[in-house]
Amino acid sequence: MKNIKAIIFDYDGTLLLENQSTISNNIQTMLTQLKNHHVLIILATGRPFNHCRYLMDKQLVNYIISANGALVTNTMGIFHSIALSQNNIHLFNDFCDKNHLPSSFYTTELLTNGRFDAHIDLGLREAMNLQARTLDIMTSMHNDPIYLMCAFCDHKMDAALKEAFPDLFLSRWHPSIISLLEVEIKKTTGILKVLEHHSILPSECVAVGDGNNDRDMLELVRYGIAVGDNPNLAVVADFTIDSVETDLIDLLDFLNK
């Protein structure tokens, strides 16, 4: 893999297939082979860190970029993070209570405000294959930093959220999910921090993903690889494959010739 120094993977729909709780043995073997070729493996996911921690525990990845770019972790611990202020967390929580909106909060885990409806059920099922009502509820006893917060609603609530939080960055990445942050953060925010630390250029990287929140990282690198038939990625991807498990190694071998 002399021409590729780092590969950035999305998690859900890319490494983790539908109805799986962990990545397959074949994909684990593939990641091990890539690391044995001295390729830096970066996982960039919209999930919280602890959902993917097993990949680091098994030494299958070098970095996990979680909460859609706000938390970067390696084997030594937190490498980079951007946490939300307590004031904005309280204001957002109050807004959701007043408007009867389900919400989620990303620490290293994923917490909810205890409200449930069709939006949170659908959003978490489609985005992460999670059952919303099984998640822990955030209480005043939770003092861990929060890196990302999301409201579960349709686009009709966007204007009200923008009016209530004019200084926050709002990003809708699913029809039922809108994220709120104090500074603009994307997966590429964490990716660029890692690449800079290792003196790796984006032109020496491959990125692989299947979701709308993967578009920026596919555009950033030399080779952007889309998984599946997402039309929003097809327009920016250099290549499209059906499956990481069956198609990626052959494509990487081709790119290294």
Q: What is the DSSP string of 28-47?
A: HHHHHHHHHTT-EEEEE-SS
The domain boundary residue, chosen from 151, 181, 211: 181
Residues 195, 248 within the same domain: yes
Place of tokens 């990125």: 207
Residues 43, 14 within the same domain: yes
Rounded average pLDDT over 81-106: 96
Do the beta carbons of residue 71 and residue 77 sit within 8 Å? no
Q: Has residue 255 got a pLDDT over 80?
A: no
Residue 47: closest CA among 116, 118, 109: 109
Q: Has residue 143 got a pLDDT over 90?
A: no
Eight-class DSSP state of 85: P
What is the predicted pLDDT for the residue at 173?
Answer: 81
Q: Has residue 205 got a pLDDT over 90?
A: yes
Determine, yes or no, domain membership for 11: yes
Q: Has residue 1 got a pLDDT over 80?
A: no
Specify the pTM: 0.92
Specify burial of residue 229 (Cβ count, 10 A radius: 0-12, 13-18, 19+).
exposed
What's the total number of domains in the chain?
2
CA angle, 58 as apex, 54 and 60 as ends, to 5°? 95
Residues 177, 105 within the same domain: yes
The domain boundary residue, chosen from 142, 158, 181: 181
Rounded to whole angstroms, how far apart are CA atoms 43 and 129? 18
Q: How confident is the model at residue 142 (pLDDT cuts 50, 70, 90)?
A: confident
Residues 190, 74 within the same domain: yes
Owning domain of residue 108:
86-181
Q: Has residue 257 got a pLDDT over 70?
A: no
